[in-house]
Each structure stands twice: as structure tokens, then as C-alpha cells.
Amino acid sequence: MTYSTKGGFYNDGEDNSITKQLNSGVRALMLNIFAYKGDAWLCHGCDYKTGLESRGPALGLFKEVEAFLTLNSYEIVTLILEDRVDAEKNILGKVFDASGLTKYLFSLSKMPLHGEDWPLVKDMVTANQRLVVFSSSKSKQESEGIAYQWNFMVEYKLYTLIGSDGMHTNRGRSLKLNNTSKSLVLFNYVDSEQKKKNKNYHSAFDFTAPKEINTKDLINTIKMCYTSISKRWPNFIAVDYSKRRDGGAVFEAVDFLNGKLLCGCEDVNSCQNGSLCTSDVDDESQNHIWFNV
């Protein structure tokens, strides 16, 4: 399955709380997290060593995620952490405990290696292990049982734009995008129309840029990239802004991708009675469906 992903949150571009975004359909959060004053803090679009603007303790956000999971017992949320927290002091584990999220953590031992299938949603719900966490810190997988991101996914280079030199390339520590030993694909997207309309717009951290997504451009970009990575549809679409300019924004793209993954259709709402729209789902190179329904 594919999930709408909020890229680099700390009270930045969307003027929406995490609760509002989760309620609107966002199901994965990419967070820059670091140690500060003996605690875990979040920071986005700033130098975590010298410029601590747009930042704050992680506990409040984690509590919002916990409240959402408690109120929505059939939902699954994923946290993807750019992790600079010292593993030796177990700071991150303490924040999970204090927020009440520990009880929802999906066990590392159940995560498939070597590109195998992930578990069924119904099994995760039954076990009440509905929070999946990945960390960029390799040591935390052994010391704290938090999955090392690059053991499980490949990721597009940040700020993928139509026609850009970075198109179809992997992010620094990620393996190549056609490496099927990693079962998950994370797709980063910045609206090319924003880039064209604002000559000073240089990154997703420019909060003066239009805070909307062009649905058509997003879906076309995903289709273009499909053929370049051994026919693998993304499991996560990471955007800084999920509001729509036209169409259904990132959520329409999620419906498109889930249709492709589940039945080969252009829209998941067309996947009925086990019917197939195309042969895409039978392609041996198709990526494994994550959190199978």
C-alpha cells in the first residue's frame, strides 16, 4: 500500500497541527530529531547545531500521534526519523515511553528483510502494533530495537522535480532505486509549478512559496519514475504541503498508487470483487505490497 507522508514537520509550512493532518489522511511523518537540553527535539529547515529556529520538544508531537492511534484503532502510522539523538542515553526511548507510544510499536522482529512481504493490516491491528518507526541511526537497531531505515527501504533524492538532474536518483545513504532487496520505496516530491512561478523558490523549506500541490504534475512524475526503477510504485509519497491546487492533491495520488498496487487500476476505488485492470500486479519486478490488506 501507499501512504501520504508529511516531509520534515515542525510547525512549518502547512499551518496544520499533526492531529489535523492525521485526520485528513496523512499516515507517515518524516521528522528531523536531535538531542537538546537532555531531551529529544524536532527541527526542520534549520541548522540543528547553531540555528534552532522552527524547533521544539518531540514529546508534544508524539503525544498527538498517540492520541490519534488511541482514537482510531484500525489506523497505522509510520515515523521516519532523521535521527541525531545519542543512542547511549536512551533519550528517544524515554520519549516514546512518556508519550504512551511504546505500547503501539511494531516489533522489529516482525519486519521482513530481503524484500519479502510485510504483514497484513488486520494482523497489525489485532496485535495493536500500529506504529512503525524507522531511524537513520544504524546503531539504534541493535541498541534500542528501532529499525534502521536503509535496511528496509530505498529513497528518491530529495526535491525530485520534473526534468531535473536529480530525477530517478537515490538519496545519499539509500541503495539504488531498482534494488528489490529493500521492500519499501519512499518518493520525495516538490511541486515543479512552484519552482517555475517563484524564481527564488529553491527548496521545500521556503515557506513563502505556494503551499499547494499540483495533482496532475505529481501523478505524472510518479508515472515517469515508474519505468526508471524496475517498475516499482512508491509506498510513501513525501510532500511538504498536501493542500490541493487542483484535483485531490497528494491524496488523489495515493488513491492512484494503491489502485496500481492492489489491482492494477488507476484508482483504488475501482478495486472491487478482486478484479484486475491491467497485468501490472503480475509483473515479477513489482514491489511488494506493504501492509497488505
Question: In the chain, where are the structural domains located?
Answer: 3-282
Q: How far apart are CA 160 and CA 164, in angstroms?
A: 7
> What CATH number is given for 3-282 in this structure?
3.20.20
Q: Is 94 helix (H, G, I), strand (E, B) or coil?
A: helix
List of residues 6+ apart from 19 with CB closer than 8 A: 64, 67, 68
The closest of 153, 201, 198 to 173, measured between CA atoms, is 153
Confidence of residue 204 (pLDDT cuts 50, 70, 90): very low
For the stretch 65-97, pLDDT in tens is 999 999 999 999 999 999 988 877 889 999 999
Confidence of residue 205 (pLDDT cuts 50, 70, 90): very low
Confidence of residue 7 (pLDDT cuts 50, 70, 90): confident
**107-115: long-range contacts, CB 8 A cutoff, minimum separation 24:** 107/145, 108/141, 108/145, 108/146, 108/147, 111/147, 111/152, 112/183, 113/151, 113/152, 114/181, 115/180, 115/181, 115/182, 115/183, 115/288
Statement: residue 11 has pLDDT above 50:
no
> Contact, 101 vs 62, CB < 8 A?
yes
Q: Is 108 helix (H, G, I), strand (E, B) or coil?
A: helix
Query: Residue 67: in which H helix or E strand, if any?
Result: helix 58-71
The size of the chain, in residues, is 293
For residues 111 and 213, the model is more confident at 111
> Contact, 42 vs 90, CB < 8 A?
no
Q: How far apart are CA 140 and CA 153, in angstroms?
A: 16
For the stretch 146-157, pLDDT in tens is 999 999 999 887
For the stretch 46-56, pLDDT in tens is 554 545 555 78
For the stretch 270-291, pLDDT in tens is 887 677 785 444 444 344 445 5
Between the alpha carbon of residue 50 and those of residues 8, 30, 47, 207, 268, the distances in Å are 18, 21, 6, 20, 45
pLDDT on residue 280: 47
DSSP 182: S
Statement: residue 293 has pLDDT above 50:
yes
Compute the mean pLDDT over every residue in the chain, rounded to the nearest whole number: 79
pTM: 0.84
